[in-house]
A and B are shown apart, each in its own frame.
Chain A
Amino acid sequence: MLTLHEVDKLFEIIHKLKQQGLGLIYIGHRLDEIFEIADRTQVMRDGACIADKDLADCTRQSLIEMMVGRELKNEFPLKSPSIGKTKLKIRNMTRGKVVQNISLKVRSGEILGLAGLVGAGRTELARLIFGADPRDAGEIQLDGKMLSVCSPREAIAAGIGLLTEDRKLQGLVLSHSVKDNFGLPNLNRFAPAGFVKTSIERSEFQDYVTTMRVKISNENQKANQLSGGNQQKLVIAKWLARHCEVLIFDEPTRGIDVGAKYEIYQLMNDLAAKGKAIIMISSELPEILGMADRILVMHEGKITGEIEDVTSATQEEIMHFAVA
């Protein structure tokens, strides 16, 4: 991952090379970047070349459609949120300077967007809620009941799931099979007496793979052989099977192509429709604006703003809070 500054530098170099008469092939899925530096584009999908066009003839919309393979009316799926009563309530969560005295609540059926610049403490907050890091102070309430969560194991048992921002290093055991990865947080259920009932595990795994359209060759395929989108779906599948009441998505669409992004958005909406409470951390402002029902903005470990009415909110408004 490059920072914005680094990307500018890279593009500068690319432009220089172009002027020297070099031909360059740039592989990427960030459409803004493609439009910025490319002259001609080839779209690939499922291992085949779909189109070969001058970029001048393309729009963002048409590129996405070619990538996804169907007409895409919207980058974000439509939804009709039905928000219930408070599910998760955090009070005075504190850890050193990274997370300072944060209180928030998420209601069932709600997607709460957590916006902010990199380093604002959003991931750290998520990890505190999940028990992955020790907290200095703060309490967690689920459905009005106080939780004494001190480890991810306890958080999971209570019904909280976390999709980490780095799925390769924290979300999956890459060298293990997709089925084993799916089963890992669910072994309490698949192995009630300590012995894994593989038939239950296998059939449930197949169910999720089919309904979520995870592309795998077989259940023993290693997780590192999947594409980013399919890896992310696999991580989501393992938490869905856990029937978590609260799900925290940390940068759920980072490094994922447009088609899979849309499917992940849809999954999040379905979950919300089922009454789950969802916290979504994202650095992409259009994504936050398109998905969240309510937005909290963080800056230097504190909540600096809340946007209740997302439909009329703008990126500038969020940025205003984010740089505080």
Chain B
Amino acid sequence: MPKSKKQHLTHLLTEYGMILVLILLGIFFSLVTLTEQRPSGKKAGLQIASIVKKRFDKEAHILITSRNLAIDQNFYDVLSGSLTSAGFKHIHSVQGTPKDARAKLIELEKQKVKLQVILGNQTTVDWLVFEDITLNFPQLGSPTRIGPSPYKWPNFLKKDNLLNITNQIAVIAIIAVGMTVVIICGGIDLSVGSLIAFSAVLCCLFIQNTAGGLDANAGGMILACIAAIIITGLVGSFTGSMITAFSIPPFIVTLGVMMMASGTAYLMSGGESVYRVPDSFVWLGREASFFGIPNAVFLMMLLYSLAHIMMSRTQLGRYIYAVGGNTEAARLSGVPVKWIQLFAYTLSGLLAGLGGVVMASQLKSGAPTYGQMYELYVIAAVVVGGTSLSGGEGKIFGTLIGAFIIAVIQNGMNLMNIESYTQKVILGMVILIAVLLDKLKQKKFQTS
């Protein structure tokens, strides 16, 4: 039966509707955060160098100005390097404050230099000392001032901001993989937020007490992380076995485990942050070792790909969907229902443990206060991503999109200076709308 145009459209909307929402959100926040940008650092250096090369001859006297900042050092190095190699002979420079600049100008005046051009970044080029140069230093001539030229670009779409979004969402997104599997399997896991704190504290305690504290080496830290993840995974197995062996509703079991895990995290840490860990511990959470992608984001992508393959290609994935779709029918078709459920909660525990380790690495410490309310953000990401809370339906990459929608909304509202209380209200509304859309979608399917 060939599909009509309308059916194609509904199919497209139901399969990729959330991507559309994400794109629209991106466009919206790009438009509202469109502001005048000036290049800085290396980019600014290159831009100005090319202007100078075109407009001035090699004999011109040039003054490069910059502050004592790392980004200005970059700017200075690139600009002076580029001009020197282009053959400019008289390059003067000043690094520091306007006071230093005045001193430099006095010095140049004494040397009877006729200055033709002053180069600087967006700040230095506007220094007052250069505005009145013809009045105060008539001997120097009337040099042109060249700074980086402005352009329009949304703050939202700046590379740093986008990386910031992905980095912020990494922990939630990683845990949401496990949550998606649990929810597709027909359950729910409220303990993941507390397990973040549990795992983070555990990991940092291992590093501090057994791997050598501030002098711990990479091997020790990796072992500490793996140990924390495995122990958190075992907590997940405990949850799963309570649910399968005694048929207690997952909501209740995970609520209990949530409180137990949180309490244990406070007990283990004495209620304080565990921070005596080496600087190199932040490798996972803050650094970018592969193609400029932050390591946590890289790990997140890897996990999503693996989970997608598991859910769509393997027997295990098909069993998980079947258990959530109709537990009894699955059991009577030979699906080992209890093992599948046990697997789902163990996976959720392992990934919550990993999320805790990533967060500890991002913040370079482990504290029992981590991850509060995270279970709700994680569930929200899963639901916004189109997974049905009644089980049996959902897609792994839908969850990633759901996580990004939440992150983008939060980030966009931050950029728009919306205060955090209002943000909460709006985020809650977004979740409700997502669920509403899901319901409407299902209705449409049933009637078509």
Query: What residues make up the interface of A, taking CB atoms closer than 8 Å to B?
Result: 130, 132, 151-153, 156-157, 162, 164, 169-176, 180, 183-185, 187-188, 190-191, 194-196, 217-218, 222, 238
Contacts and interface: CB of A to CB of B under 8 A. Distances in A.
A151 B337 CA distance: 10
Which residue, A164, A176, A188, has most C-beta atoms of chain B within 10 A?
A176
B109 interface: no
B334 interface: yes
A230 to B, nearest CB: 15
A132 B329 contact: no
B329 A173 contact: yes
Interface of B: 1, 313-316, 318-319, 321-322, 325-326, 328-336, 392-393, 445
A184 B333 contact: yes
Nearest to A163: B332
Contacts of A187: 315, 318-319
A195 B314 contact: yes
A169 B331 CA distance: 12
Contact of A194 (B315, B334, B335): B315
A187 B336 CA distance: 12
Nearest to B446: A224
Given A152-B332, A173-B322, A174-B325, 19 more contacts: A130-B332, A153-B335, A156-B333, A169-B328, A170-B328, A173-B321, A173-B325, A175-B392, A175-B393, A176-B322, A184-B330, A184-B334, A185-B334, A187-B318, A190-B315, A191-B318, A196-B315, A196-B318, A217-B1
B332 A170 contact: yes
A184 B313 contact: no
Contacts of B1: 217-218
A169 B329 contact: yes
A132 B331 contact: yes
A183 B314 CA distance: 12
A190 B318 CA distance: 12
Contacts of A180: 318, 321-322
B131 to A, nearest CB: 71
B314 A196 contact: yes
A191 B312 CA distance: 12
Given A152-B334, A173-B392, A217-B1, A184 B318 contact: yes
B326 A195 contact: no
A190 B314 CA distance: 10
A303 to B, nearest CB: 24
A173 B326 contact: yes
B318 to A, nearest CB: 6
Contacts of A162: 332
B448 to A, nearest CB: 9
A268 B443 CA distance: 37
B330 A173 contact: yes
17 contacts: A153-B335, A157-B334, A169-B326, A169-B328, A170-B332, A171-B329, A173-B325, A173-B329, A173-B392, A175-B392, A180-B318, A185-B333, A188-B315, A191-B318, A194-B316, A196-B315, A238-B333
A164 B315 CA distance: 23
B332 A171 contact: yes
A157 B336 CA distance: 12
Nearest to A154: B334
Contacts of A170: 326, 328-329, 332
Contacts of A157: 334
Contacts of A188: 315
Nearest to B442: A175
Contacts of A171: 329, 332
A101 B293 CA distance: 68
Contacts of B330: 173, 184
Contacts of A217: 1
A238 B445 CA distance: 25
Contacts of B321: 173, 176, 180
Which residue, A156, A157, A170, has most C-beta atoms of chain B within 10 A?
A170
A171 B329 CA distance: 5
A319 B364 CA distance: 79
B229 to A, nearest CB: 23
Contacts of A156: 333-334
Contacts of A238: 333
Contacts of A169: 326, 328-329
Contacts of A175: 325-326, 392-393
A183 B321 CA distance: 13
B332 A191 contact: no
B322 A184 contact: yes
A152 B333 contact: yes
Given A187-B319, A194-B315, A172 B334 contact: no
Contact of B314 (A130, A153, A184, A194): A194
Contacts of B336: 151, 153
A152 B334 CA distance: 5
In the complex, the 7 A-B pairs of residues with the closest C-beta atoms, listed nearest first: A173-B325, A191-B315, A156-B334, A173-B326, A185-B333, A184-B333, A153-B334
Nearest to A222: B445
Nearest to A172: B329
Nearest to A185: B333
A217 B7 CA distance: 14
A51 B445 CA distance: 32
Nearest to A238: B333
Nearest to B312: A196
Which residue, A180, A184, A194, has most C-beta atoms of chain B within 10 A?
A184
A77 B396 CA distance: 49
A218 B3 CA distance: 11
Nearest to B391: A175
A243 to B, nearest CB: 13
Contacts of A195: 313-315
Given A173-B326, A175-B325, A183 B318 contact: yes
Which residue, A130, A156, A191, A218, has most C-beta atoms of chain B within 10 A?
A191
A93 to B, nearest CB: 18
B312 to A, nearest CB: 9
B444 to A, nearest CB: 13
A33 B252 CA distance: 49
Contacts of B313: 195-196
A45 to B, nearest CB: 19
A53 to B, nearest CB: 32
Which residue, B1, B333, B393, has most C-beta atoms of chain A within 10 A?
B333
Contacts of B315: 187-188, 190-191, 194-196
Nearest to A164: B332
A162 B331 CA distance: 12
Contacts of B333: 152, 156, 184-185, 238
A176 B392 CA distance: 8
Nearest to A218: B1
